[in-house]
């Protein structure tokens, strides 16, 4: 049996007699204790009201459902007969763009189904700040945002057909998302002194959150305003805090959240990376959705792009040649470029010599480099252009990401050679090419096998906790051991940022494999 946040127990109760006049309530509690339930069990009034005539009708053979509330078991359902085989729970990653939910068989731990939907908060802005300012000091608007958050979760539950069956839910999300879920003004997350309203909401009755679930919802705690429960969940997933080896954990998005450490220490920090990573601020940028260019390569003077297809089962493996513009109506037409495509494009432009170490385009290098709107740009797909301003913005973004890692390593008294693993979490890390990210200096130049795509570690950590209640102790340990560093207070932060605003870096010695690759590529290019 799993040691999860819920359990179902089949009980065959002894019938009341003159010699055994125990109450129905006590009869159930005693039977649970005899079955090995050591913790206190609370039976709420709505269950007590069901005991008669349910017990008589069931011939005293019942299944009780228990949900952990942080201190004891709460009985959330009582049924006739043996229904222990139908025992389900939900793990949820509450992202600012996408909500992902998994339905778990809590008896076996099997993933039954996974679904996702757009976070309905998007109607008030794709960036979090827009949403924060929309409902600042306005209870009515805050309630709108709260309802939209809950509706997003409920949409996933409907897709899973889980509202009638699941007993417990674990949600991992950043500090702002959890504030909105709980109906709390999130301006405190953004505004100094960054003292948030709640960082450890813990277990909440699902019905108090308007979530159609029988039991409790657990929200992963945050360490700070910008380092939220999604990162703590990532710690549980990767088990970084248990390892002897030193690891780096990096969740890259509009914000970058970073943890370095092992079982002896944990240093963490967070800072703005930039919307360019998710296609924001780039003129033809877009999310990684249908029609987005997500891979780029340059060969023999032509740019080839891969476009995300419409169906999951279809890889969308459609390559468009920017030089020949071949018509292929059966394939998905490129509509813009997402973060992974941008990184590929800049890496390829650099290796081909179309941009210099500062990321500046050279008009004479290719007919695909043109002047439009008083600035240089490169035509990467039919009708789509990547501008010098876009490149500059992205280099600032990658510089911020690089500098965060550099500062954290320095503060820990380590250099990169002492790091055994470099975990890259989130959707961004899942799709980005390691080689391209190293080429532009976003990732460190290290053994590629040691750069681990952690995937959706937020969701994975939520699943682990749902199935293993003892991890609550680990979460407390992580929060206690974590030391938070404010990047803004680091004296030479800007200096380090400037040093990293070159491809791959002003200090070439940090990127030996990139320099080697650059030499090889230049050798192959026909002048």
Give me the CATH number covering residue 115: 3.30.420.480
Domain termination site, one of 39, 59, 80: 80
Separation CA 351–CA 90 (nearest Å)? 45
- Residues spanned by the domain of 123: 88-219
Establish if 123 belongs to a structural domain: yes
* 76 and 98 share one domain: no
Establish if 519 belongs to a structural domain: no
Contact 91, 462 (CB under 8 A): yes
Point out the least confidently predicted range of 75-79, 108-112, 232-236, 391-395: 391-395
Q: What token pair was written down for 233?
A: 């969940």
Q: What percent of the chain has pLDDT over 90?
A: 74
Q: How far is CA 377 from CA 201, 288, 367, 372, 390, in A?
A: 48, 22, 11, 7, 9
Beta strands in 160-223 (DSSP E): 166-173, 202-205, 216-219
CA-based radius of gyration for the chain: 27
* 271 and 404 share one domain: yes
Helix (H) or strand (E) holding 475: helix 471-481
3-state DSSP assignment of residue 219:
strand
Domain termination site, one of 38, 53, 80: 80
* 76 and 92 share one domain: no
Indicate whether 325 pLDDT > 60: no
Predicted confidence band of residue 348 (pLDDT cuts 50, 70, 90): very high
Domain termination site, one of 26, 47, 80: 80
* 235 and 351 share one domain: no
In this prediction, residue 326 carries a pLDDT of 35
Question: Count of domains in the chain?
Answer: 4
> Is omega for the bond preceding 67 within 30 degrees of 0, making it cis?
no
* 433 and 342 share one domain: no
In this prediction, residue 317 carries a pLDDT of 39
Backbone φ, ψ for residue 42 (5° rounding): -105, 130
Contact 256, 269 (CB under 8 A): no
Average pLDDT estimate for 489-509: 89
Task: Return the C-alpha torsion angle 423, 428, 430, 436, nearest 10.
Answer: -80
In this prediction, residue 313 carries a pLDDT of 34
* 329 and 236 share one domain: no
Establish if 289 belongs to a structural domain: no
Q: How far is CA 312 from CA 99, 290, 306, 316, in A?
A: 17, 10, 15, 8
Q: How far is CA 161 from CA 28, 64, 219, in A?
A: 30, 21, 22
* 112 and 42 share one domain: no
**What's the pTM?**
0.89
Establish if 211 belongs to a structural domain: yes
* 398 and 268 share one domain: yes
3-state DSSP assignment of residue 171:
strand
Classify burial at 450, counting beta carbons within 10 Å of its beta carbon; exposed 0-12, middle 13-18, buried 19 or more.
middle
Separation CA 496–CA 517 (nearest Å)? 25
Establish if 282 belongs to a structural domain: no
* 358 and 486 share one domain: no
pLDDT in tens, 144-198: 999 999 999 999 999 998 767 899 999 999 999 999 999 999 999 988 888 999 9
Establish if 284 belongs to a structural domain: no
**Close Cβ partners of 52 (under 8 Å, ≥ 6 residues apart):** 24
Closest by CA to 135, choosing from 198, 202, 193, 189, is: 189
Q: What token pair was written down for 191?
A: 């505004």
C-alpha torsion sign, points 49, 52, 58, 63: positive
Establish if 26 belongs to a structural domain: yes
pLDDT in tens, 32-49: 999 999 999 999 999 999
Separation CA 120–CA 125 (nearest Å)? 10
* 68 and 93 share one domain: no
Indicate whether 316 pLDDT > 80: no
CB atoms within 10 A of CB 361: 21
Helix (H) or strand (E) holding 323: none
Separation CA 233–CA 425 (nearest Å)? 11
Give me the CATH number covering residue 421: 3.30.420
Q: What token pair was written down for 29?
A: 């509690």
Establish if 121 belongs to a structural domain: yes
In this prediction, residue 365 carries a pLDDT of 94
Average pLDDT estimate for 433-439: 95
Instruction: Please tell me what DSSP assigns to residue 186.
Output: -
* 69 and 107 share one domain: no
* 268 and 398 share one domain: yes
Contact 99, 159 (CB under 8 A): no
3-state DSSP assignment of residue 189:
helix
């Amino acid at each position: 049996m799993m040691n999860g946040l819920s359990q179902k127990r089949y009980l065959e109760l002894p019938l009341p007699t003159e010699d055994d006049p125990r109450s129905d309530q006590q009869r159930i509690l005693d039977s649970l204790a005899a079955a090995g339930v050591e913790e206190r069990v609370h039976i709420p009034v709505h269950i007590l009201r069901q005991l008669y005539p349910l017990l008589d009708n069931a011939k005293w053979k019942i299944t009780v459902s228990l949900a952990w509330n942080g201190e004891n078991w709460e009985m959330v359902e009582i049924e006739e007969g043996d229904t222990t085989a139908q025992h389900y729970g939900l793990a949820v990653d509450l992202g600012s763009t996408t909500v992902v939910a998994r339905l778990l068989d809590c008896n076996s731990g099997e993933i039954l189904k996974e679904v996702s939907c757009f976070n309905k908060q998007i109607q008030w802005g794709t960036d979090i700040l827009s949403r924060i300012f929309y409902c600042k000091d306005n209870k009515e608007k805050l309630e709108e945002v709260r309802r939209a958050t809950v509706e997003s979760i409920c949409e996933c539950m409907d897709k899973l057909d889980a509202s009638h069956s699941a007993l417990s839910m674990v949600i991992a999300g950043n500090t702002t998302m959890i504030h909105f879920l709980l109906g709390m003004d999130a301006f405190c997350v953004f505004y100094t002194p960054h003292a948030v309203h709640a960082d450890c909401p813990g277990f909440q009755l699902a019905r108090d959150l308007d979530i159609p679930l029988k039991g409790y919802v657990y929200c992963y705690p945050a360490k700070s305003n910008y380092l939220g429960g999604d990162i703590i969940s990532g710690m549980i997933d990767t088990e970084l805090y248990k390892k002897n080896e030193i690891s780096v954990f990096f969740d890259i998005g509009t914000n970058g959240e970073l943890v370095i450490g092992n079982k002896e220490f944990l240093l963490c920090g967070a800072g703005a990376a930039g919307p360019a990573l998710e296609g924001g601020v780039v003129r033809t940028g877009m999310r990684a959705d249908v029609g987005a260019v997500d891979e780029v390569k340059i060969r023999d003077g032509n740019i080839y792009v891969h476009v995300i297809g419409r169906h999951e089962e279809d890889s969308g493996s459609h390559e468009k040649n920017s030089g020949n513009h071949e018509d292929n109506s059966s394939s998905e037409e490129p509509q813009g470029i997402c973060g992974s495509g941008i990184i590929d494009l800049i890496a390829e432009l650099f290796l081909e010599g179309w941009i210099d170490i500062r990321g500046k385009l050279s008009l004479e290098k290719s007919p695909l480099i043109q002047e439009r709107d008083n600035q240089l740009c490169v035509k990467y797909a039919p009708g789509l252009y990547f501008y010098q301003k876009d490149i500059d913005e992205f280099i600032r973004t990658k510089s911020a990401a690089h500098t965060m890692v550099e500062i954290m390593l320095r503060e820990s008294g380590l250099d990169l050679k002492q790091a055994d693993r470099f975990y890259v979490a989130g959707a961004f890390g899942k799709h980005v090419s390691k080689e391209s990210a190293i080429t532009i200096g976003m990732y460190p130049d290290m053994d590629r096998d040691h750069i681990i795509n952690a995937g959706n570690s937020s969701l994975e950590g939520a699943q682990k906790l749902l199935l293993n209640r003892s991890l609550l102790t680990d979460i407390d340990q992580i929060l206690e051991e974590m030391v938070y560093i404010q990047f803004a207070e680091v004296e030479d932060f800007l200096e380090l940022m400037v040093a990293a605003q070159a491809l791959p870096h002003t200090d070439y010695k940090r990127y030996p494999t990139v320099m080697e690759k650059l030499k090889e590529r230049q050798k192959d290019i026909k002048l």
